[in-house]
Amino acid sequence: MMIEGFPLIVLFGVFLYLANSIKILSEYERGVIFRLGKLLPAPKGPGVILVFAPIDRLVRVSLRTIVMDVPPQDVITKDNVSVKVNAVVYFRVMEPQRSIVEVEDFHYATSQLAQTTLRSVLGQVELDGLLSERERLNHDLQRILDEHTDPWGVKVSSVEVKHVDLPVDMQRAMARQAEAEREKRAKIIHADGEFIASEKLSQAAAVIGKEPGSMTLRYLQTLTEIAGEKNSTIVFPLPIDILQALSGKRDGA
């Protein structure tokens, strides 16, 4: 069968070739093209691009941020405590060509680098620092990973340590330490209160000592406060100075 001098099978072959040569790249994708094994100067996309098969080979590269979980790593801290730590790494490809040419698999390479860096950095700090200085450690991890992945055209934007799994014995020891710390603070606060109260009582005693009758008035006021509760029996001792005052009046009479 002929169409204007061309066999139908030839036209069908041309159509099939063009269909296979047309590639569509999304907004977040770039195409790295090798023509006869040689890298073309600039990545293609987004939109419609034409790939001449079989002389061209297209590699799609996503520019979106990749979220990668770092599996739990056995870490021995500086004070010889064994813990399991996992993290999450956020990175994206900034230069598609370098991410394909400079490293075989940038995703796998970044994952392995993150695991080794996590063990190395966290092994240089003590357990207390690992638990309390998360922000500084996350920044150090991000900086080190970014320096190593920069030649691959990969930008590590953030690293977050997610979970620190402590041994059961260490959890118990830390609980006892926290309890002892709370008891210490309670005793210090109680001692400070006793010290302040003693100072105030000393000042009150100095004021009361200036007037002989003020002690008797304070004594009677205290009895009045106790009697108001009506839930106890009060033994009323009679002060000696009152007896002396009464005996003096009788002698005078």
Spatial contact of 227 and 220, defined as CB atoms under 8 Å apart:
no
Spatial contact of 171 and 118, defined as CB atoms under 8 Å apart:
no
Amino acid 127: pLDDT: 87
Least confident of 78-87, 119-128, 178-187: 178-187
The beta strands (E) that lie in the chain are given as 2-3, 6-7, 22-25, 29-35, 38-39, 47-50, 56-62, 66-76, 82-93, 154-165
Q: Which tokens go with 195?
A: 């010290």
Question: Binning pLDDT at 50, 70 and 90, where does residue 19 land?
Answer: low
Question: Binning pLDDT at 50, 70 and 90, where does residue 48 land?
Answer: confident
Q: Mind listing the pLDDT tens digit for each residue in 215-240?
A: 667 766 776 777 666 666 666 666 66
pLDDT of 11 strictly over 50: yes
* C-alpha Rg value of the chain to the nearest Å: 42
Higher pLDDT, 47 or 6: 47
Amino acid 117: pLDDT: 94
Least confident of 21-30, 80-89, 95-104, 115-124: 21-30
Amino acid 222: pLDDT: 73
Amino acid 120: pLDDT: 92
**Contacts from 165-170 at CB under 8 Å and sequence distance 24+?**
165/72, 165/83, 165/84, 165/85, 166/81, 166/83, 167/81, 167/82, 167/83, 170/81, 170/83, 170/127
Amino acid 108: pLDDT: 94
Domains and CATH numbers, the chain: 2-62 (no CATH), 66-171 (3.30.479.30)
pLDDT of 253 strictly over 80: no
The whole-angstrom separation of Cα 216 and Cα 50 is 108
pLDDT of 34 strictly over 80: yes
Question: Binning pLDDT at 50, 70 and 90, where does residue 52 land?
Answer: confident
The secondary element (H helix, E strand) that includes residue 13 is: helix 8-21
Q: What is the mean pLDDT of residues 116-136?
A: 90
Amino acid 118: pLDDT: 94
**For the chain, what is the mean pLDDT?**
82
Least confident of 7-16, 44-53, 116-125: 7-16
